[in-house]
Every structure is written in structure tokens, then in C-alpha cells.
A and B are shown apart, each in its own frame.
Chain A
Amino acid sequence: MGVAPQGLELTRDYRSLTGGKTAARRAGGPESPKWGATILFLAPATLLLLVFLVYPAVYTVLLSFNRGRNGIFNEWVGLDNYARLFADPDFLNLGTFPPSGALWNNVLWLVFYVSIVISLGLIIAVVAARVRYEALLKAIVFIPMAIAATALAVIWKFVYSPDANIGLINALLGAVGIAPIPWLGDQGIVNFALIAVGIWGSVGFATVILSAAVKSIPAEVIESARVEGATERQIFFRMILPMVSLPISVLAVTLVVNVIKLFDLIYVMTAGGPGKASQVIAFTMFQQAFEAGQYGYGSAVAVVMLVLLIPIMIFNVRRFRTGSVT
């Protein structure tokens, strides 16, 4: 059977050389597709994708230009939903300092969650590689990935509790004489308290990915740098960091998608509060559509989410076409 194919490109070449038309001709097999079998294998997936993804996406885009009472096209309003959305200070308010609104909160998540998850994941991956209990430590940090965001939310509501008999953080602060802080009840703090929970939930994922990347760097390369007198800092910044830049970019894309789709954690921990201080776009979409019954307006929010994800869609398709995804 020869060498097992490794990458996508190799697989394609290999197949076109040994399989494909030549083999079919040699076997006297049919050149043309077997329509019956093709339809059988693809019909269930195609049907579901058309009914539940493609058609709804088109419907939602059209509904976002409509009043959309009860989810039905009843009153064309043009760009009115979008105009109202971007004029709504609860969605985006750049007029104050610091800015506020659901979309702004996603920006906060994007900046702090993505950068801190990646840096902490890299630091833990590199440092843990030097100790014997590396596997145990990575498992401990990875556990939150297995848990429902709903359960994460309960765990951290508990840790953040303003009651010093319940919440560990305020108990620790109390021990050094600091009054309890309402982590989830203060409009200025709540987003950062939530982002910290998000970071806690995702660092294990980053650690595992980056740990594998760091270990793929050949031992001799690092060893010879050490022999030639490179400091640990130089090795980290000049050798490890450049060599893990590709996994970091893939990780960053994943985390950005997490931020755009972020919902469960916010819904359970704060329900967007206090007031509307911790709302994010996916939360706004849910609330406008299903609590306020504003289907056209809610559709406009869903379209904003879709538009934010389109660059990543293009990135993925391009990445796949060039064959770096295998």
C-alpha cells in the first residue's frame, strides 16, 4: 500500500496517480457518476442543510428589512431595523467614555478574552513542559472545557457571591479587611468579571493546542541555541513564539468565533445585567426576538452576527483551498 498519505495535497496527488480515472478505466468501471448512490449518500445532509441553514439564512436576511410581526413578512421597512439598532445606546453607545452597549461588550471580550487566553495558554504550556506533572496539570486546566457553560456560570456565581460566607473571593478580601465587592452587581466591573470566567473556561483548550505546537519544535534547535548561550527569554521570544504563530492564529480565530457566538454564560450569570451592562449581541438577538417579540429587529441583530462571521468564513474557505487544513 506504500506510504500513508499525510496532507491533503499529497492525498490528492496520490489519488490522481493511482486511483481516479485510470483505475476506473482499468476495471472497466463507469466513468460517469453513479447518480443513484450519490443521491442516496448526499440527500439527507443536503435536505437538512437547505431547510435549516440556507433557507433560514436567506429568510432572516429578508426579514431584517421587514417589521416581521410573528416572524412573517408583513411590512417592508427598508433599513429601518438597522437604523434603529445602531441608534440604540443599548446596542452600541460610542458617545460616552468608556463606550457601552452589547456590541461594545463583545469588543471588550474580543480584546481581553482572546489575548489573555492565548498568552496564559502559551505561558502554561511552556512552563508546564519543564515539570513531571505536566499531563496532570494540563488535565486540570482542561476540565472546564468539558463542563456546560450553565455549570461554569453556577460555579462562578458562587465564587463571586457578595456574601463573604459563600463567595471565596470576598471571603479572602474580608480576611485582609477589604469590604465585599459586588463583582456581578457593578456596571463597571461586571464585564471583566464575566471575561475572567470565560478565560478560566478556555485557557485549557489553548494550553493543549499550544503545548502540542511547542513540542513540535525540534529539541536540537533549542538545545543548540542554549549551548550557544541564548537566554531562556531569547529562546522564548525569538524561537518558540515565531514557530507557534500558525497555531496561535488558528486559536485566535476560534476564540473570536466564541466571542461572537457568546450567549449561555451571559444568559445564566447575569441575564445581561445589572441593567443592561453585560449584554452581548447574541443575547440581544435572543431578547429582542423571543422576549420582546421584535422579529424583524431581532433578525437584523442575527444578520450583524452573520456579517461579523463572514470574514472568518472566507478565511476558513481560503485556508482549506490552499490545503493547510488536513
Chain B
Amino acid sequence: MSVLAEGMAGSRPRTPAGRAVAALNRTVIHVFLAFVGLLWLVPTIGLLVTSFRPRSDIQSTGWWDIFNLHLTLENYSQVLQAQGMLQAFLNTVFIAVPSTLLPLGICAMAAYAFSWMRFPFRDTLFLIVVGLLMVPVQVAFIPVLTGMRELLPDLQLTRGYGAVWLAHTAFALPFGIFLLRNFFITLPPDMIEAARIDGASDVRIFRMIVVPVSVPAIAAYGIFQFLWVWNDLLMALVFVQDSSKFPMTRAIQNLLSQYGTEWHLLAAGAFLVMIVPLIVFFSLQRYFVQGLLAGSIK
């Protein structure tokens, strides 16, 4: 129970007039919260309902006309096959999985060094990492694309996923190192020192102690990074240049510019990009909220 709710229950008014005022206040609160709930649910539900309605229905009546409701999966099959959204879904997976696992490993290693290894200028270097958090991705676009074109033309990194993997990984590092270091440093020093005294190497301490006991923090960061990449449009616009490799966000953007009023396609497409984050949200809500809250500094 929350503080304020207890407060309400504790100060029960004694006079009939006081009770009436309290009841009115409670009614106002419920009405307000119901309004908030509807405002946040209705737009999404409207699009969800639309994604199952036949094209002809969508154009003749609004989705809220529930007396005239016919449902179909036709929109989804059309958008998945004819519009290539199935391929785009797979492309999103191909982009998101390495762009999550790579930074996870690299950040955990660097965070370990910044929390439990001794080397000169350690804290200064860490403050530089904190500073790099605020460097916008935009400053990397032109030099990285130019560099890939001029210095490594044979690799054709923007034709495949190489460029987008590397860019996502690099720009995930400042935040990931920051977050994991702040978690690692709260581990009991005795635990690390005891392992050192027993002759364990840093690699061993990292793999056998620090990573296993930090699974919740690493999971929260992993979920945050996965959804960040899954939902990204900008990096894919810049670093994925082969249209057969576009992720869903780009495919939807293309749908929108080609068929701006074909809502049966757009609604189904939008739900396909939303489905994985929604599953993650409802199944791993605690990690998810933690990851996002911690990610607020990004």
C-alpha cells in the first residue's frame, strides 16, 4: 500500500458533509484516472482492431463501429508476404541480436576493468566515458560512412549488416560501461579479494564470479539495448543501404511513403514491429522497467 492511500484511509471524515466531499473527491480521482487510462489505451487498440478489419470496411466506417465488425487475417498475410515484412522481421532479428550481444560482452569486460583492476588514470578515463555518453550519433555518420567507403571499399560494410552492427555496438558502449561499472562496483570487495588471494586470474574472477552474480543487471541492460536496436530507425537509415536487408522500421517507413492511406497494411505492419517489445514488456516487466529507468541517462 502506498503512503498517500494510507493517508486517505486514515483521515476518514466524521460528518456526513465531510463524507460526501470525500466521496466526491474519490469520484473525481477515478474519473480522472479512467480518462488517463482510456487516453493511453484507445489509440493503440484502435490500430489493433483496424489491423484485423477488411480493407473495404476500414474505408467505409471507423474502427469504433463495433456493430459492423468483421475480422480477418488477410492484412497480416498480405503485409508479411506481398510487402516483404516477413523478410524485414528477420532482418530486424539479424540486426538486433549481434547489436545486443556484442556490446553486452564488450561493456561487461570494460566495466570490470573500471571497477576491479588497477591502472593509471582509471577514474579519469571513466569520466571520459561518462562524457562520451552525450555524443550524438549524428557526429559519426559522415566520417564513418566516408571511412568505410574510402578506406575499406572492398568490405562493403553498408551493403550487409557489418556497418550497423559496429555502429550500434560502439554507440552502446558509453552507457553500457557506465551502467555495468556502477553495478559491479557495489559487489562486496572481500569476494573479489578472496578470489585474488586464492590465485584466481582476472579472466577467471570475471567469468566465474562477477558475471554470474551480476546477471540481473546484465539482463536489464541487455533488454534495454535489444529494444533500443529493435525500435531504431535512424541508424538503419544511415548504415543499411541494401533494401533487401532493411529492418521493419524502415519497411514501415517505406509503406507509409508509398501507401500513406492504406491503413490495413500500415496497421498490420505497425503491430508486427510492436509485437516483440510488447511480449518483452509483459513477460519481463521488472527487468524492462529497470533497464529503461537506468537507460534514462542515455
Contact = CB atoms under 8 A, between A and B. Distances in A.
Nearest to B282: A139
Interface centre among B112, B177, B233, by most A CB within 10 Å? B233
B11 interface: yes
Contact of A56 (B140, B263, B293): B140
B252 A18 contact: no
Contacts of A159: 43, 46
B188 interface: yes
Given A1-B188, A57-B139, A71 B146 contact: yes
B296 A250 contact: yes
Contacts of B64: 168, 171
A147 B231 contact: yes
Interface residues of A, number: 129
A55 B112 CA distance: 25
A205 B233 contact: no
Nearest to A134: B2
Contacts of B221: none
B93 interface: no
Contacts of B202: 34, 37, 41
Given A141-B40, A146-B281, A168-B42, A18 B231 contact: no
A213 to B, nearest CB: 11
A118 interface: no
A158 B62 contact: no
A130 B296 contact: no
Interface string A305-317: 1100110110011
Given A4-B188, A130-B4, A40 B203 contact: yes
Contact of A154 (B131, B140, B270): B270
B297 A37 contact: no
Contacts of B232: 148, 264
A40 B109 CA distance: 9
Interface string A118-149: 00000010111111011001011111111111
Contacts of A254: 296-297
Interface size of B as a range: 35 or more
A19 to B, nearest CB: 4
Contacts of A5: 186, 188
Contact of B288 (A146, A153, A271): A146
A8 interface: yes
B3 A157 contact: no
Contacts of A149: 231, 233
Nearest to A150: B249
Interface string A261-280: 10110011001000000000
Contact of B189 (A19, A208, A289, A301): A19
B177 A38 contact: no
A112 interface: no
Given A150-B249, A166-B58, A264-B233, A209 B296 contact: yes
B167 A52 contact: yes
8 contacts: A53-B173, A147-B277, A157-B256, A158-B47, A282-B234, A302-B136, A305-B136, A326-B182
Interface of B: 2-8, 10-11, 29-30, 32-33, 36-37, 39-44, 46-47, 50, 58-62, 64, 106-107, 109-110, 112-113, 117-120, 127, 129-146, 149-150, 166-167, 169-171, 173-174, 177, 182, 185-186, 188-193, 196-197, 201-203, 206, 227, 230-234, 237-238, 248-249, 252-253, 256-257, 261, 263, 266-267, 269-271, 273-274, 277-278, 280-281, 285, 288-289, 292-293, 296-298
